[in-house]
């Protein structure tokens, strides 16, 4: 959709514009990367949590959260099943191995996205760097031209 314009053809203000635009996109992509990473960490935590509900813990007393600030002592009653939020308001009761599989699949899916994003980010970074180089070259050129008539 964008025509191929050689960046050496652009003059200084236009180069500044292009650089600013690229840096904005870079910011945006980096933010998305951070968010994906956070989501991935959450899912990894879920895998650990599922691991805690093991049969060895059945019958042990735990503090059950009833609200954000209220805990009541209780016992684990069902160590074989957990309830997983699969999105759009659906909650599915799964066995522990099924839940672990579900979260692992999510973690891997995010990992794939993260890698693609990483590539896009480095390409953008390269573009920004080349624009900066061209800008510096032009600036030097301009300064030489200004000095030449003066001397």
Partner 1 sequence: MSTTTEERNPRGIPKAPFIADIEDHIGGPDGDADGPLKRFQDALAKYRFMESNLSQRRAGLEDKIPDIRKTLMMVEYLHERREGKSKATQDDDLDAEDEDDLEEGSSQKPLTTTFELNDTLYAEAELEDTDTVYLWLGANVMLSYKIPEAVTLLKTKLEAAELNLQNTIEDLDYLREQITVMEVNTARVYNWDVKRRREKRLREQASGSALAKTAEG
Residues in contact with partner 1 by the rule CB under 8 A? 42, 45-46, 49-50, 52-53, 61-78, 81-85, 91, 99
Token digits for 26?
Answer: 């870079």
Among candidates 12, 15, 28, 37, which has minimal Cα distance to 111? 37
Q: Which helix (H) or strand (E) holds 145?
A: helix 96-150
**Based on CB atoms, which residue is closest to partner 1, 7 or 100?**
100
**Based on CB atoms, which residue is closest to partner 1, 18 or 50?**
50
**Shortest reach from residue 61's CB to partner 1, in Å:** 7
Contact status, residue 74 vs residue 61, Cβ threshold 8 Å: yes
3-state secondary structure of 54: coil
**Based on CB atoms, which residue is closest to partner 1, 5 or 63?**
63
**Based on CB atoms, which residue is closest to partner 1, 52 or 126?**
52
3-state secondary structure of 147: helix
**Shortest reach from residue 21's CB to partner 1, in Å:** 33
**Shortest reach from residue 36's CB to partner 1, in Å:** 15
Give CA–CA dist 96/45, Å, rounded: 14
**Shortest reach from residue 111's CB to partner 1, in Å:** 18
Q: Residue 35, Cβ neighbours under 10 Å: how many?
A: 10
């Amino acid at each position: 959709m964008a025509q191929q314009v050689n960046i050496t053809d652009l003059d200084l203000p236009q180069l500044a514009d292009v650089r600013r635009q690229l840096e904005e996109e870079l910011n945006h992509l980096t933010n998305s990367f951070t968010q994906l990473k956070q989501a991935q960490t959450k899912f990894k935590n879920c895998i650990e949590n599922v691991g805690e509900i093991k049969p060895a813990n059945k019958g042990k007393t735990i503090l059950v959260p009833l609200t954000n600030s209220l805990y009541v002592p209780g016992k684990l009653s069902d160590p074989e099943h957990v309830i997983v939020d699969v999105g759009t308001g659906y909650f599915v009761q799964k066995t522990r191995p099924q839940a672990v599989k579900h979260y692992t699949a999510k973690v891997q899916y995010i990992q794939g996205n993260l890698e693609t994003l990483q590539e896009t980010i480095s390409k953008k970074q390269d573009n920004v760097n080349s624009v900066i180089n061209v800008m510096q070259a032009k600036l030097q050129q301009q300064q030489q031209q200004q000095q030449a008539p003066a001397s």
